Amino acid sequence: MAFSQVKPLFLALLILCMSILVSCHSRHFTPPIVTRLTDLFPHVSINNSFYKGFGVSNIQLTGNGFMATLSLDKASGSGLVSKNKYQYGFFSASIKLPSGLSPGVVVAFYLSNADVYPHNHDEIDIELLGHDKRNDWAFQTNIYANGSVSTGREEKFYLWFDPTEQHHQYSILWNSHHIVFLVDNIPVREFPRNSAFPSVYPLKPMSLYATIWDGSQWATHGGKYPVNYKYAPFVASFADMEMSGCISSNPTGSVCSKSNPSSLDPVDGQEFAKLSNQQVVAMDWARRKLMFYSYCKDLPRFKVLPPECK
């Protein structure tokens, strides 16, 4: 083969390799070592702890009720909702995301009370957004308080692994001190409670949800890359569910009974009042290496930044 033929082939291979590196850029990092909070709390039976909220035919329970697959097809998405409402607690799931092209697909693990407070609800969200043609899956966090749906507090991250190859742990710590989002026990975001602006902090009892659904209208640049059902069904697997904390005995009030087999109490325990030095270092690593959007830096969106950003 002549050199003139080899050179274009070499350039084509180089461009291909570079595109792979860009699309998989987040997989080259080694995360810091941190305390594994997920080891401190028991796994719960999905069968005993959740209702099938919607898309019942697209939900399959396995592993004696401790694992579930949720599917999205052209007919419906699917979702689970916890039987209990929680005032505070630690919530975690090991999730394996759908493989292949998945623009517009949203897999969510979140707390909400929109069923009780449709016009004044709270929400703490983990949303995994299917990639478009240029990006990997994105990890989005969001917080709403007292119905502030027009002022969501989003932050977005890339992951340092391929979330479609195996299960990874996604966790929320919510107590009277702060909200912390974690991936494989690495804190990626902390939202402290601040008495100076109490209305922005979720305080009302919430249910825990696990869902997969079509987010074409907003998840990929305003619908630029909608779900392509040629690749359906899109299947997400949930396992190792953890829900430990303050179970609310009054969905519209603050009375709750603490139900937590662990000796640690994620509601009031000092072990969870603030991040350890090790966790602070790990969170700084995640935010420097992986965060690509924060509402606190979105000046075109906010003429006046939300108070906690200052």
CATH no. for residue 43?
Answer: 2.60.120.200
**Cα angle: 41, vertex 71, 230; to 5 degrees:** 145
pLDDT of amino acid 119: 84
Selected catalytic residue, list 127, 155, 190, 242: 127
The answer to whether residue 215 is domain-embedded is yes
Residue 31 lies in a domain: yes
- Would 165 be classed as within a structural domain? yes
184 lies in which domain range? 25-309
pLDDT for the residue 260:
54
Q: Which of 123, 155, 190, 242 is catalytic?
A: 123
Buried b (16+ CB within 10 A) or exposed e, 3-37: eeeeeeeeeeeeeeeeeeeeeeebeeeebeebeeb
The domain tally of the chain equals 1
- The answer as to whether 7 is a domain residue is no
Q: Structure pTM?
A: 0.89
Q: Tens digits of per-residue pLDDT, 75-92?
A: 999 999 999 999 999 999
Is residue 42 helix, strand or coil? Answer: coil
**4, part of any domain:** no
Per the annotation, the verdict on 127 as an active-site residue is yes
pLDDT score, position 180? 98
How far apart, in whole angstroms, are the C-alpha atoms of residue 197 and residue 194?
A: 6
Q: Residue 296: what pLDDT? A: 94
Whether 242 is catalytic is: no
Low-confidence residues of the chain: pLDDT under 50 = 3-4, 6-26
- Whether 255 is in a domain gets the answer yes
User: Is the residue at 207 inside a domain?
Assistant: yes
Q: How deeply is 146 buried, as exposed, middle or buried, from its count of CB atoms within 10 A (0-12, 13-18, 19+)?
A: middle
Q: Give domain status of residue 3, yes or no.
A: no
pLDDT recorded at residue 19? 39
Q: Report pLDDT for 147.
A: 76
